[in-house]
Structure 1
Amino acid sequence: MSTPKPMFVREVARIDDPQFVSGQGAGHRARRLIDAPDAAFADPFVLMAEDWTSQGVFPFHPHRGIETVTFVIEGAIEHRDSAGYKGVIHAGDAQWMTAGRGVQHEENPPAGTSAHTLQLWVNLPAAGKMAIPRYQDLEASVLPVWSEDGVEVRIFSGAYADRVSTTLNHHPVTMLEVRVENGGAFQHSFAATDNAFVYVLEGAVEIGLVGDLLETSQLGWLTRSEEPGTSELTIAAQGNTCRFLLFAGQPLCEPIVFGGPFVMNTQSEIQQAFADFRAGRF
């Protein structure tokens, strides 16, 4: 009789707490939480920025080859794009935009207001790089929620326990917003080969058996296995109630080339993206 493999226990592999970088003019502060040099390490995640913005900071601009996930921490964001989609999301909401073969969009807080946001770029697999653009508003009030023993999990994408999100993905990605009261503990079982990270929105958390501490505004990458199987993640509140985001997805393990707002697999594809944009084909 074969002995079952022990479950892989997730711990903290690395903690990132980057400094502010130059913004795009007045009314903009930013931190780059995931950056291009880490593309292989972060796969399938490409970039992640934390922004404090006022209106006009992000006028119409193009993307190709990725999906953008924007989560509002404070304020509100108005979105409209060249595919005809538009929407408004508020604190606690998110939007999931598939740039695919090419889209132009703008995203700004309403006039006279400011917003604090996170935006994650999720890489599309080579077979989905030229997908038809798509936009999804993910309003917190209508998303599936699981709650028990001082833990509340809102499922933006993927699944948790017996709750499943209806959010559409070209490459499966889990996005959970979790609140844990003092004394509670969040537990999640998912593929051991998934790449995953935690971003703390409020309070502080202790992760894994070691109990590594992750504080507000810090991003913690989790250990992962190269061997198929299941992993177990445990996150407890350190002190008072904590709130965090968990993202997880299988690495694509494909070549990646950056060209400003375009993320493709080859340099020739980047050149074609710029040519298509200049020719008005977005």
Structure 2
Amino acid sequence: MKSREINKTWTVSAEQESPIHKVGMVLQPGHFEDYDPFLFLAEDWFQRGVFDFHPHRGMETVTYIIEGILEHSDNHGGAGRLNPGDTQWMTAGRGIIHKEDPAIGETVHSLQLWLNLPAAKKMTETRYQDLQSANMPLREEPGAKVRVFSGTSGGVTATTLNHVPVTMVEITLEPGATISQDLPGSYNGFIYVLEGRGVFGAKETEGKKNQVLWTNPTGDNEESEITITAIEPLKLVLFAGQPLHEPIVAYGPFVMNTEQEIRQAYADFRSGKFN
């Protein structure tokens, strides 16, 4: 199995967007070819009213709750509630209008990843998967816990449904503990450190809280792994996915393959076809 290296690191800085919203861009938008199949990832701190009803088409959102209680609802009658450690996997597909609001009196701290859909699935039916942390498969090794939200870790596999093959795991390590996370060699992947400090990959690259560690594919026809060792108590999320290698045209909340499809998305939204 090929041992992965860390190819790039950067530090995330948060900015105050409004009195009730602070955001740090973990993956900046616009680097679609480099980050494929990921579009961007935002770390948000927000109160009620920031993400009121808004549409999406042609993509998925993956929302991981760090702190606070998040309530969501949509124009198809769907609704739910997410607690710290939970994740929502929302497939916008052909079109949805939804809102994400902290519970009354709450400030939510979250990560939201935008994940591209392949051309053949852009107009698929909408779908929610509310993934409660307590119900997710758990891999346990000495000094290490890996909660598997999507994909596989050391033979422990989630039942989450994917249109694009994606591994998402939450890893906690005690100081001195080591874990290896297996990944297909064709995947792009990255780690975002939520707490603590550790060393990552074959070259033992150091990373700490608020840092991103990116790993490039190692090859299409081989398995790979990335090794992580905690220097301090360490908590992180790891995302990795299969690149789609398709054209992307993104405008506002819509992510399609052509400008004509974007124009059609806006026309369909304005004419009520998302209802």
Quick one: distance in 2 between partners of 1:154 and 1:19?
A: 26
1:37 match: secondary structure? coil
1:56 aligns with one of 45, 49, 52: 49
What displacement does 1:113 show?
A: 1.4
1:59 match: secondary structure? strand
What displacement does 1:226 show?
A: 4.1
Deviations 1:9-39 (A, max 9, x none): 211111122333452x321000111122211
5+ residue gaps in structure 1?
1-6
Deviations 1:26-73 (A, max 9, x none): 210001111222111000000110000011111000111111000011
In structure 2, the partner of 1:204 is 197
How many residues are matched? 274
Residue 277, structure 1, aligned to residue 269, structure 2: yes
5+ residue gaps in structure 2?
none
In structure 1, the partner of 2:88 is 95
Residue 228, structure 1, aligned to residue 221, structure 2: yes
In structure 1, the partner of 2:171 is 178
Q: Please tell me whether the aligned partners of residues 12 and 212 of structure 2 are also in contact (alpha carbons under 8 angstroms).
A: no
Identity, in percent, stands at: 46
In structure 2, the partner of 1:267 is 259
Task: Output the TM-score relative to the length of structure 1.
Answer: 0.94
1:36 match: secondary structure? coil
Q: Please tell me whether the aligned partners of residues 180 and 237 of structure 1 are also in contact (alpha carbons under 8 angstroms).
A: yes
Deviations 1:194-243 (A, max 9, x none): 000001111112001321111111111113224421112100101x2201
Deviates more, 1:67-76 or 1:206-215: 206-215
What displacement does 1:189 show?
A: 2.2
1:87 match: secondary structure? strand
RMSD of aligned residue pairs (Cα, Å): 1.2
Q: Please tell me whether the aligned partners of residues 21 and 32 of structure 1 are also in contact (alpha carbons under 8 angstroms).
A: no
Residue 18, structure 1, aligned to residue 12, structure 2: yes
Deviations 1:66-95 (A, max 9, x none): 110000111111011112211110111110
2:51 match: secondary structure? coil
Residue 245, structure 1, aligned to residue 245, structure 2: no
In structure 1, the partner of 2:29 is 36
In structure 2, the partner of 1:4 is none
In structure 2, the partner of 1:193 is 186
Quick one: distance in 2 between partners of 1:232 and 1:96?
A: 25
1:63-102 equivalences under 5 Å are 63-102=56-95
Quick one: distance in 2 between partners of 1:34 and 1:216?
A: 15
Quick one: distance in 2 between partners of 1:112 and 1:149?
A: 39
2:120 match: secondary structure? helix
Task: Output the TM-score relative to the length of structure 2.
Answer: 0.96
Quick one: distance in 2 between partners of 1:265 and 1:67?
A: 15
Opposite residue 274 of structure 1, the aligned amino acid is: Y
Quick one: distance in 2 between partners of 1:79 and 1:227?
A: 38
Quick one: distance in 2 between partners of 1:35 and 1:131?
A: 26
